[in-house]
Amino acid sequence: MYNLIEDYLDRLCVPLVRRLSYHERQRIRQEVRDHLLERVDELKSQGVSDDEAVAVAIKQFGSPEWVGTLLLEKHTQRPAMTWWRGLVLAGLTLVTAFLLTVPLAQPFAPPRAVMLQAVDAMMWTLGDLPPNLPEAQQLQRTLLQSRLPWGWSMGMPPIGWKWQQADPPLRAVEELVVQRYGQWLGKRLREDWLQTRPVEDYFGNLRFAVPRRTYPVSICGEIGCQGFPRPFGTHAVDDAVLKLALPLLALATLAGWLTRRLRWAVGASVVAVALSFPATLLLTYRISSAEPARSYEQLPLTQAVRFMEDIAAQKATLIGKAKPILSTSEAGLASDGERAQRILQLGQLYRHYAKQYIAAWQQWNDASVLQKLWWTFSYHVLPTWWSIPAGLLATLIGGGLGVIARVWGWRMRHYLIYRFA
């Protein structure tokens, strides 16, 4: 009976060799022996035989390698391990806090993107007018003024605005723009790259080449007016959340592997949640501060649309003099005579969504501060709290993987020692 206990204690102390002193190992061995003997006496008092009582007590106490590894982790405080634990948990906290404040919608949500894509489609359908015409010069100035700068406003305010669809005739034009916009933008970028001639410019003593364009490639800059959210089932899921969720889960798993302390991961999650509340204030201020820039940029954009509509309605002959950017087949037209009508339809599509866009921002401006904070919290922060249980689960999995890997590492090491030593 006692041989089984001593054999169990020998295997339990294997992970402690060269890690703890001899006297510390003997003290741990005596404590474990006392616990086992107490459990054996309890089982024997219940009528269990001696051999069976020892076997049951050992089984209930756990695998000797696993218990030895846990005892080693408990009795060792290595500086390197402590440093790595702090580093990983700090990274877990920062990434979780940042993930909780990432907006679920990019600046150009699909209806907002369609509104801006319609302006690009009008510009490309009209084509490049001869530069000597007064209308061409005025259009050039208007389009350059209507370009949206880098780091433009947040797009739509987080009020859960329900977009109204356009009428069936305009809906067909909208579907055409959504389907072919990427193809149109790619062609425009290729042609602009081949036709644009760089002009030398100076900045102090530095000389560099700056491209000079008659018309902008897109009113949204070089990247175009793309809508980022992609359908995922019945909801729109932001790719940025998914990309940041993977590092979060990896950090949580690594934290569980290194620490084997679930309470530390819980503490990091609590800190991340606490940081999300002041981040809500900052994000609300950022959205509200985007309103002046949005109002300033909306007026030139509307003027550019109105000017191109005037050309299509009153000076349709100028369209025949323009150098087309999109061919009739690419634009979905039967002939060049339909270009003026298509420009007018695109202008109507722009105004349809522009009215709703302005109304949404007006509703945001009329709301109280508490209402704005609740909108921002419920739309940007609350839906991302799913990462908390996912991170805790990953920490549990990582802790279990760490224990299993450590146990099997010790088993393989001592198997090799006993086999080949």
The answer to whether residues 148 and 220 touch, using CB atoms and an 8 Å cutoff, is yes
What whole-number percentage of the chain has pLDDT above 90? 1
Digit-coded pLDDT (tens) for 118-174: 888 888 888 777 777 787 778 777 777 766 654 444 467 777 777 788 888 888 888
CB-CB contact of 112 with 350 (8 Å): no
Q: Note the pLDDT of residue 370.
A: 92
Higher per-residue pLDDT: 386 or 154: 386
Residue 274 clears pLDDT 60, i.e. is over it: yes
pLDDT per residue over 365-380, tens digit each?
A: 888 999 999 988 887 7
Tally of CA atoms within 13 A in the half-sphere of 58 that contains its CB: 21
User: Across-strand partners of 229?
Assistant: none
**pLDDT single digits (tens) 247-267:** 555 555 555 555 555 566 666
CA 67 to CA 64: how far, in whole Å?
5
Is the pLDDT reported for residue 4 higher than 70? yes
Question: Any residues with CB less than 8 A from the CB of 283 and at least 6 apart, and which?
Answer: 101, 103, 376, 380, 381
DSSP 108-171: S-HHHHHHHHHHHHHHHHH-B--TTSHHHHHHHHHHHHTPPPTT---SS-SS---PPPPPHHHH
When pLDDT is cut at 50, 70 and 90, the band that residue 190 belongs to is: confident
Quick one: CA torsion of 189, 194, 197, 200, rounded to 10 degrees? 80
Is there a contact between 20 and 13 (Cβ–Cβ < 8 Å)? no
Quote the pTM value.
Answer: 0.57
Q: For residue 229, what pLDDT band results from cuts at 50, 70 and 90?
A: very low
Mean pLDDT for 352-369 is: 86
Task: Give 409's pLDDT tier (boundaries 50, 70, 90).
Answer: low
Yes or no: say if 284 and 373 are a contact pair by the CB < 8 Å rule.
Answer: yes
More confident residue, 199 or 179: 179
Residue 364 half-sphere exposure toward CB, CA atoms < 13 A: 26
Residue pLDDT, tens place only, 68-87: 877 777 766 554 555 666 56
The average pLDDT across 303-307 equals 84
Burial of 321 by CB count in 10 Å (0-12 exposed, 13-18 middle, 19+ buried)?
middle
Span 42-63, pLDDT tens digits? 888 888 888 888 888 888 888 8
**How many other CB atoms sit within 10 Å of the CB of residue 308?**
23
